[in-house]
Amino acid sequence: MHGPRKLPDLVEAIYDAGLDPSLWNNVVTGIRDFVGGQACGLFSKDSISKFGVTHYYCGADPHYIRLYSETHSKFDPLTVLPPHGQIVSIPDLVNFDEYRRGRFYQEWMRPQGCSDAANVVLENSNASCTVMMTVLSGRRMVDPVMKHRLSLIVPHASRALLINRAMASQLTLATALAEVPDNLACGIFLLDGFCRVVHANSAGHDLLAAEDLVRSVAGQLVTSSAEANQTLREAFATRHEIALLAAKGHAFSLLSPSGELYVAHILPLSSVLRDGSERVVDAVGALLLRKVSLGGQSYGELIAQTFDLTPAELRVFLSIVEVGGIPETAVALGIAETTAKTHLHRVFAKTGVSRQADLVKLAAGFSNPLVN
């Protein structure tokens, strides 16, 4: 066994474990040696079921750690948990003679050569399941010296566990936020002031790989439309939040060389998401590319229900979006151009738009945003 650590070194190790939880096993060993106990562990205790799970420990046989979780956590003296940060020994909790006659002492403590334990609640942000530390004292009772030494550790261990929880929460949030864009069917590109791709979601990478609607040229995003490229360059080149906010409501349609229609949106990225240095590698905005695909009859029915379109008007609507203008629609549907125009004007009136390009954007709003 290594000699007891000095308090400053032990405190430093505790905060290291706050950043890297894998270090807790080494830390509990240092705490045991510093306090002068036989074993030490960090465990969770459910205040309702009394079920306990040991997370990190030293000085105890793994067999007894399993027994504690499976059976004996229900019989330990911690029936009522002490207040946060208060160190209590077993005589502080129960009548010691009764305790020595009970199952916990006879079946769990005594076989390990232990008689007493110092316990303290370190973290109770989850009211029904707190995180505790225990130091088993061996044959001698927990004395004031042991409690004092443990009290020097408790505030630092509590803070380290809060750091663990905060980091885990942020990691969970970051993972969830990263997964959401990857489950969207629209391509999302984070671009810097030179329209270079800083990040793209899965759908965005698929679009780049297809080299149809968009391509990456020396890291710069290039679309199949010269006009759209100019719009993007002007919007992103300023690297100024006001200019991007002005572009936020601007949407435009793109036609890929293979004939597929997309709707593009430019969105600003808040300066909160950047470090304020305005480096050229910072993402200043996002480009969203959404394929205009009604994905089957159900979307057409939804559009018809929303705008009270007749079957004939819906067919013209869908044909304008998927096929092209009036001449192409007339041929595709086998109707006269004058009939197609009549239905189109009624569609304009009911939907509140006045251009065929706006119908494309409107249709995109009814497409499934999730990856199929």
**Structure-block tokens of residue 249:** 């409501």
Identify the weakest region by mean pLDDT among 77-86, 241-250, 285-294: 241-250
The listed CATH number (1.10.150.120, 1.10.1740.10, 2.40.50.140, 1.10.10.10) that belongs to domain 297-364: 1.10.10.10
The answer on pLDDT for 239 being more than 70 is no
pLDDT at 325: 87
Q: Do the domains 184-291 and 7-175 match in fold?
A: yes
pLDDT over 90 (residue 275): no
Would you call 317 exposed, middle or buried from its count of C-beta atoms within 10 A (0-12, 13-18, 19+)? buried
Asked if 20 and 105 count as a contact pair (C-beta separation under 8 A), the reply is: no
Encoding tokens for residue 284?
């200043």
pLDDT of residue 193: 84
221 or 124, higher pLDDT: 221
The answer to whether residue 335 scores a pLDDT higher than 90 is yes
- The H or E element that residue 164 is part of is helix 144-182
**Tokens in use for 143?**
């004395």
Burial readout 100-126 (b: 16 or more C-beta within 10 A, e: otherwise): eebebbeebbeebebbbbbbbbbbbee
Which fold, 7-175?
Answer: Beta-Lactamase (3.30.450)
* Mean pLDDT confidence for 88-109: 94
Domain extents in the chain: 7-175, 184-291, 297-364
> Which pLDDT score, from 0 to 100, does residue 1 have?
42
Q: Which CATH number fits domain 184-291: 3.40.800, 3.30.450, 1.20.120, 1.10.286?
A: 3.30.450
